Amino acid sequence: MRACPVAGGGRLVFTCGMWQASIMFSRRLPHVVTRKDLALLIATTYATSASIDFEEAHERMERAVTSDRVSDHLYAGLSAALYERKGPRATEDALIDELSAGVQKRRSRVKAAALTPALSAVMVMLNVELGYAPEMMRGALENPKGKALLEDGLRALGTHLLKELIK
């Protein structure tokens, strides 16, 4: 098991072949950002990375987030970004309330994140889970360098989503 500290006391922990927030930022998070919301939020980034149209990307992301493995990865990245964003005066509930309002207002207007090697690792993970990438790519994500890239990508994606949703 490998652990990575996250601001605010939480951390991402690599267990059972995936990153998980050792402490989910809030129990409300999966209710505020549902799996359907996650699919919609990341579809533009996926469409850009895969060079496909939005509708196809959205359909693929809806299939991807039905997997507990994928949704746990995405929630871990979002939790890490929330821990980093939480300041000394901000309360957990206030931040989740802001996120909830942003999801309701802007979920269909989230722009694609800039593609970096770390974010590409997240896209590879999604493609492996969907069956669009060879299974050997899973091995690349499980070696130390791949794990570190995936962790950075999940956090970067979470940070991007927060910037798009909380304004």
10-residue averages of pLDDT along the chain (167 residues) = 43 47 72 95 97 97 95 93 86 90 93 96 96 91 94 96 94
19 strand-pairing partners: 14
pLDDT score, position 19: 45
Q: Beta partners for 4?
A: 12
Collapsing DSSP to helix, strand or coil, 24 comes out as coil
Question: Quick one: pLDDT at residue 14?
Answer: 47
Pairing assessment for the beta strands 2-5 and 18-21 based on DSSP bridges: unpaired
Asked if 19 and 13 count as a contact pair (C-beta separation under 8 A), the reply is yes
Using alpha carbons only, how large is the chain's radius of gyration in Å? Answer: 15
Number of domains composing the chain: 1
* Dist CA 28 CA 119 (whole Å): 26
Nearest to 42 by CA among 59, 17, 27: 59
Dist. CA 7–CA 25, nearest whole Å: 11
User: What are residue 2's DSSP bridge partners?
Assistant: 14
Query: For residue 23, what pLDDT is reported?
Result: 63
CA angle 164–165–167, rounded 5-degree value: 85
Q: Which domain holds residue 125?
A: 2-165
Q: What is the pLDDT of residue 28?
A: 86
* Structural contact between residues 12 and 76, judged by C-beta atoms closer than 8 angstroms: yes
- Threshold 0.75, pTM exceeds: yes
